[in-house]
Structure 1
Amino acid sequence: MTITDIVFSTVEIPLKTPFVTALRRVENVEAVRVTLSTDGGLQGIGEAPPTEVITGENLQSIRSTIEAKIAPNMLHKPFETMEEVQKILHTSCKGATSAKAAVDIALYDLFCKQTCQPLYRFLGGENRSVETDVTISLNDPGTMAADARIALAEGFDILKVKVGGRDGRDIARLEGVRRAVPDALLLVDANQAWSETEALKMIGAVSDLGIELIEQPLPAENLEGMQAVTAQSPIPILADESVFTLEDAKRVIGTKAAEMINIKLMKCGGIYKAREIVEWCEARGVKCMMGSMLESPASIKAALQLAMAYPETIRYADLDSPLLYESIPQGSGMAFKGNEIFLS
């Protein structure tokens, strides 16, 4: 197989309501779409959103990285295996994980089309539905409680509750949401907003609310603080921004800075690198979340099929971006029934 052309376009999808976390506010999903064409007439599509507060990349930098650093190493150079082309991709430059993820997803699309099979089967999985959480954006306690009630009424009983408002009202937020949806499964995401002292105070105050896990309570680089919180918390701690690479995963789990890991294609550089992390965790009995940024359909669909391939290790999924769109674009290839997301 030889890649003969790389074409770029931009995807933009309005959201029903703004998506708000401790790190950012977003009103539209944006993504760079990458289309790879081959000498055999195949086309592979990959997409990546700009999540500058996490990966340091914006729309322009994703495109320019692919054009200037990845494309020159990949165009018009024949390869036979995924391993060959992935080595080219990941040695083209350092970092730039979203840019790499867009190309990686497009490469997997090419190989799947070449072998006439869906991605989940190419990865060794089976076609099945995956349960995703639904995000309750950061807001005042009353609004978040109301949003939780609406989500439950629409059939969503796994909720990821965003906290970290830095206004002293996080306990009220969680208490209000729990009163509003007493039987829902609650995942709490602080997006690095707390200090070690604040985290331990928060956890102590909400430990009787039946919270399933707390995600990234401390800044990503504060692994020592994460160790202390994990050691003292009765609620399991999941690392997100602390883990981009397999080496990060080994460090976080090895030092007991968290008990679980949130794997995102945009953090690690795509499906190939995500599989390395999943399989390392699988060998050690470490449970994972298949997460996502606020993403467009092509990358969400790729993450969904990766989750299909590792049902024992990927315990949680955070793939609700399409549910936040004003409307799901035709041809997305996905459908929802309550918390279940499946290939349509």
Structure 2
Amino acid sequence: MEKNPAILSVEASIIDLPTIRPHKLSMATMMKQTMVIIKITSTDGIIGWGESTTIGGMTYGPESPESMKLTVDQYISPLLIGKDATNINVLMHEINRNVKGNTFTKAGIETALLDSQGKRLGVSVAELFGGSINSKLPVLWTLASGNTEKDIEEAKHLIKINRHDTFKLKIGSNEPKKDVVHVVAIKKALGENIRITVDINQAWNEYTAKIWIKVLQDNGIDLIEQPIIKTNFDGLARLTEYFHVPIMADEAVATTEDAMKLCKIRGGSVFAIKIMKTGGLYNAAKIAGMAEASDIGLYGGTMLEGTIGSVASAHIFSTFTNLSWGTELFGPMLLTDDIVTNPMVFKDCKLELPKGPGLGIEVDEDKLNHYKRK
């Protein structure tokens, strides 16, 4: 009987890719995107690629690019070398048993394992999960210059060329009244047919949220994302019940355990799923199942990953039955260069799932080495 291929090497590289403009969030302003690219090579010659990406160093969460590389090199790689490359469940179980937390790192590793197995079997990652329901996913754009007129001008241009018809605004770094005036002005300028979502990035307390969500709701804003601190689950449930504008849990719904608690108390009428938060595609699928059973809508979130992470997310999101709020997988469009030879296709307000085995993308290793942190 032929022996299954074994894992030969697990490499983690930190790369810094330039962005088209500064990207302003409530907790940081990004001037570039830093990602950890995972390369897993097996004895059958197959190479799988994954990506672990966070925002703003450690301002978003406890993992940084440097800590992710260290975790792969020192803790995860020794667990994988020499093991059966085809049994992803066993490999991830072993990692979860020996490495606590570190969901961003685990997402990149799991993606590389899935990419390898898809290539090995000649099927896409989506097919490993039963197949895509939609091969084209709606994708919004974040207006993050912080300047009202500039944001309106940018949005109108993107609407005119039919690249986006839904926009997200990141607020929370200013005094609430100033932020809300900014949002309302943009909504009025773009009109009622253009969907506007607001991400407060946990910046408000529950009292402030009650005052200002009312104003946003009255002015036709379509979705309110994570207005309060992620640990206030009951507060999210109270806001969900209090307003008719949908409240979305983002940072609050990271793990499967978070999702279970929020489903029980209806802490949010929409969940933002991000494979970095969940620790990979398998857990993302589990949370999607819980949300569906609880009549909670889904939104395909991003950590502004590059092409590898965005494509991995797109594969699993394409299998969801209740992706009623589309996706925000625009990360690659923020970059001035890429490390893949076949970039994602964004057309008519949607992204197209790449065809081909595994993730369906090819990495340009010369470009990877060019942008690799020395």
Q: What TM-score does the superposition give when structure 2 sets the normalisation length?
A: 0.87
Give distance in 1, aligned partners of 2:9 and 2:338.
Answer: 29
Rounded to whole Å, the distance in 1 between the matches of 2:218 and 2:325 is 22
Q: Is the 8 A contact 1:148 1:180 kept in 2?
A: no
User: CA 1:42/1:80 → structure 2, altered by over 3 Å: closer, same or farther?
Assistant: closer
Q: Which residue of 2 aligns with 1:136?
A: 143
Matching residue within 81, 84, 87 for 2:87:
81
User: Is residue 261–residue 287 contact of structure 1 (8 Å, CA) maintained in 2?
Assistant: yes
Tell me the number of residue pairs that the alignment of Structure 1 and Structure 2 aligns. 344
* AA at the equivalent of 1:116: G
What SS is found at the alignment partner of 2:218? coil
Q: Does 1:41 align with 2:28?
A: no
Moved more, 4-13 or 197-206: 4-13
Equivalent residue number for residue 152 of structure 2:
145
Shift of 1:65: 0.7
* AA partner of residue 148 (structure 1): A
> Residues 332 and 173 from structure 1, CA distance in 2 versus in 1: closer, same or farther, beyond 3 angstroms?
farther
The structure 2 residue matched to 1:118, chosen from 118, 121, 124, is 124
1:66 is aligned to: 72
More divergent stretch after superposition (167-176 vs 29-38): 167-176
In the alignment, which of 159, 162, 166 is matched to residue 167 of structure 2? 159
The percentage of counterpart residues that share the same residue type is: 26
Superimposed CA distance per residue, residues 121-145 of structure 1 (whole angstroms, 9 cap, x where no aligned partner) = 2221236110011111161433333
Look up the match of 1:175: 184
- Mean Cα deviation higher: 253-262 or 96-105: 253-262
CA distance, structure 2, for counterparts of residue 314 and residue 82 of structure 1: 30
Does the 8 Å CA contact 1:214/1:237 hold for their aligned counterparts?
Answer: yes
Return the offset for 1:181: 0.7
The question of whether the paired residues in 1 share the 8 Å contact of 2:137 and 2:351 is answered with yes
> SS of the residue aligned with 2:197?
strand
325-334 vs 72-81, which moves further: 325-334
Secondary structure of 1:326's aligned partner:
coil
Q: Secondary structure at the match of 2:60?
A: helix
Alpha carbons 1:188, 1:211 under 8 Å: kept: yes
Unaligned residue ranges in structure 1 (runs of 5+) = none
Whole-angstrom CA distance in 2 between matches of 1:108 and 1:98: 16
After TM superposition, give the deviation of residue 55 of structure 1 in Å: 2.9
Q: Which runs of 5+ in 2 are unaligned?
A: 355-374
SS of the equivalent of 1:207 reads: helix
Residue aligning to 2:15: 11
